[in-house]
A and B are shown apart, each in its own frame.
Chain A
Amino acid sequence: MMLIRPIQRQDKQALLQLATKTGTGFTSLPNNEQNITDRIERMIATWEGTAPLSDQGYLFALEDTTTKKVVGISGVEVAIGLNEPWYDFHVGTQVHASKELGIYRQMKKLSLSNDHTGHSELCTLFLDPEYRKNKNGQLLSKSRLMFIAAFKEKFSERIIAEMRGVSDQEGESPFWESLGRHFFSINFTEADYLTGIGQKSFIAELMPKHAFYVDFLTEAAKEVIAEVHPSTQPARNILESEGMRYEGYVDIFDAGPTLEAYTKDLRVVRKSQLRKIVITTTESLAQETLLIGNEKYQDFRAIIANPQINENEIYLTQEQTQALSVNEGEQIRIVPLFEKEKK
């Protein structure tokens, strides 16, 4: 069984191993031991209630219960941009028009913004390539939303997710080549790494402070604005099906889109319901796949399964209740894994 649980100190080695598999453009899990240790400690402090708002964040591990191996991680930051500025580009429109000349033109422009300051952020989603099957990606991404649904008051009313932008196999980003490279002499991979270890604001100090017109970028750069890396398309699809939208903000380095939503509008937040647990020995599968999460803040667990349910109850096996760390008679949160069941 695949299980979502809070990250623990002993997961460090597993995270380091995962970090070697991520590749360019995955900024929030840099292959840097100190950084990973700090990250885990910061998450634990959040769960223990000792972290200030600006440091709060949650990181979840996807564990294969048969091998006890951590094969994926996903995270949520509670309030971004409070320690150091959070930057992105706003994609705006400027109309240049002259009645005298009979000309009307719309120009796209990008301007540096801190508009997402204080928002919560879905981040750090990574799944071991060997496990990219059996809806593991869905579980990994959406279980965070179950946690948010259960503990709404811990999060901001707005939530975003930055999607990895387009870069090639050598780690070159057309957007970076057309823009960032002119402003300072390091390559995208390096900028990307510095970002991951928390140096993004130093880099942003060097970025264009004035709005600039998209028409001055290369064709290759224009084409990738708000486009995701092909390997990130599934992640984008998942978040969009959960109610997140591109609203005209992109990453300052690779122009990957920022997806946004009001937290209360997320499908899981709106649609998830509580059921009372009944333990069953005869597992009879229902048609609908459910995302199931417990209501325990410190010991959050989530799985996917196809249990029988009725208006008040859910029928879980012993194995499932153990994995979810719950007992018969307790309340548990459920939501259909998909908005509409896939055929």
Chain B
Amino acid sequence: MIVLRPVQLSDISHLERLADASGPMVSTLPAKRSHLLAKVEHSIHSFEQDVCTPGEESYLFVLEEILTGQLLGTGAINALAGNREPFYSFRNDIKIHSSAKLNIHSRIHALTLNHDLSDHSQLCSFYISPNLTDTFYPSLITLGRLLFMSVFPMRFANDWMAVLPGIFDENGRAPFWEHVGRKFFGIDYNQVEYYNTVLGKTFITEMMPYHPLYVTLINEEAQAVMGMEHSEAQLQCDLLSNEGFEPDKYIEIFDAGPILTAPRNAISLCQKIKSVSLAINTTHLPTQHYLLGMAENNSFKAYIVEGVLQGQQLMLSQQNKEQIKLSHGQNVFCVAL
């Protein structure tokens, strides 16, 4: 049995290993112990707080194999993408350049540095052990977080988003960075990604272009990767897209990876949540997979279970029920997968 649960202090060593394995794909999961520790403490504090409006909270979940205590994945949510500091992205605007006299009407794209998405809630730090990518568990990490966000609407903004890693190769060469960011910074992509994880955003304000960048003037190799996700982010992209997240006119500032956004109301999971009580399945009706979420004492756990939904009752096998330590009649949230 695998659970998605809030991170604990005792997870640090395991987390460090995961952060190491995730590499540059997950820039919001720094492989440096002091930063990880700060992130864990911040998360614990965030869960403990009674929140009535989203602020500086950040919630870090881990995926744990209950039997062995092994950590298999991570997923986090920042209540606000830009709380104390702005969240920067490039907005791909269209400028109309028109001359009736010359019979010319052209649509010119320009990337503008902005912090429009600062007030969105941000899904981040998604990582799953490579051997689990073809299972239900990536869904558990992502849908589990969406369920948490739906169950605690006060803790989050009405608009949600996620940044997907853009295109870079095994040598850490990102075409967009080479032709855009490097002109301003003169450093490697890996380096700036590292700074971005461990430093505040001041350096972005200082170093990134104030003026819109005309897309047509950007090298074609870099233009070609704008809004393209890294092949390893495909799974995450699919999970979010299935829930109603869409790429809009925003891209990441260093590697031009897509930024997916969705208003809460557009997310399909939010429409399908049912509040049910648990029971033992004594029927022989065909079972189905459910995402099951349980909120108590400012904590939240999510599982994937097999069961039968009848009226307001979700019926699980005795074994399942014991594994997740739920008592008979306890209220939980469930979503059919």
A residues with CB within 8 A of B: 94, 96-98, 100-101, 103, 105, 107, 109, 178-179, 182-186, 194, 199, 202-203, 205-213, 215-217
Contacts and interface: CB of A to CB of B under 8 A. Distances in A.
Contacts of B213: 212-213, 216
Query: 9 shortest A-B CB distances, which residue pairs?
Result: A182-B216, A216-B217, A98-B206, A98-B203, A206-B97, A202-B101, A215-B183, A211-B211, A210-B212
B132 interface: no
A100 B200 CA distance: 10
B104 interface: yes
A216 B199 contact: no
Interface stretch (B15-23, B184-192, B247-255): B184-192
B206 A183 contact: no
Nearest to A97: B206
A213 B202 contact: no
B100 to A, nearest CB: 9
9 contacts: A98-B202, A101-B185, A101-B203, A101-B207, A178-B217, A212-B211, A212-B213, A213-B211, A216-B218
Interface string B170-205: 000000000000011111000000010001101100
A103 B108 contact: no
Contacts of A178: 217
A199 B207 CA distance: 38
Contacts of B102: 184, 186, 194, 199, 202-203, 206
Contacts of B110: 210
Contacts of A202: 99, 101-102
Contacts of B202: 98, 100
Contacts of B203: 98, 100-101
A219 to B, nearest CB: 12
Given A98-B206, A199-B101, A184 B106 contact: yes
A194 B102 CA distance: 10
B110 to A, nearest CB: 7
A216 B214 contact: yes
Interface of B: 95, 97-99, 101-102, 104, 106, 108, 110, 183-187, 195, 199-200, 202-203, 206-214, 216-218
A59 to B, nearest CB: 26
B284 to A, nearest CB: 65
A194 B218 CA distance: 28
Given A213-B211, A216-B217, A216-B218, A205 B97 contact: yes
A1 B264 CA distance: 86
Contacts of B207: 96-98, 101, 103, 105
Main secondary structure on A side of the interface with B? mixed
Nearest to A194: B102
A205 B183 CA distance: 28
B54 to A, nearest CB: 28
A192 B99 CA distance: 17
A203 B184 CA distance: 30
A207 B210 CA distance: 19
Contacts of A207: 97
Contacts of B187: 101, 103
A172 to B, nearest CB: 18
A321 B35 CA distance: 90
Among B98, B102, B183, B203, max chain A CB count under 10 A is at: B102
A107 B99 CA distance: 31
Contacts of A182: 214, 216-217
A218 to B, nearest CB: 10
Contacts of B208: 96
B97 A96 contact: no
Given A101-B185, A203-B102, A206-B102, A183 B211 contact: no
A182 B219 CA distance: 12
Contacts of B214: 182, 208, 210, 212, 216
Given A109-B211, A202-B101, A205-B99, A213 B185 contact: no
B186 A105 contact: yes
A97 B184 CA distance: 9
Nearest to B104: A184
B187 to A, nearest CB: 7
Contact of A96 (B95, B184, B212, B218): B184
A179 B183 contact: no
A107 B181 CA distance: 12
A26 B187 CA distance: 43
A46 B101 CA distance: 29
A98 B208 CA distance: 10
Nearest to B211: A211
A206 B103 CA distance: 11
A209 B212 CA distance: 10
Contact of A210 (B106, B185, B211): B211
Contacts of B218: 216
A105 B208 CA distance: 11
Contact of A107 (B98, B184, B212): B184
Contacts of B101: 199, 202
Contact of A206 (B99, B209, B216, B217): B99
A75 to B, nearest CB: 25
A188 to B, nearest CB: 15
Contact of A101 (B98, B106, B183, B195): B195
Contact of B184 (A105, A206, A208, A217): A105
Contacts of A216: 183, 213-214, 217-218
Contacts of B183: 107, 213, 215-216
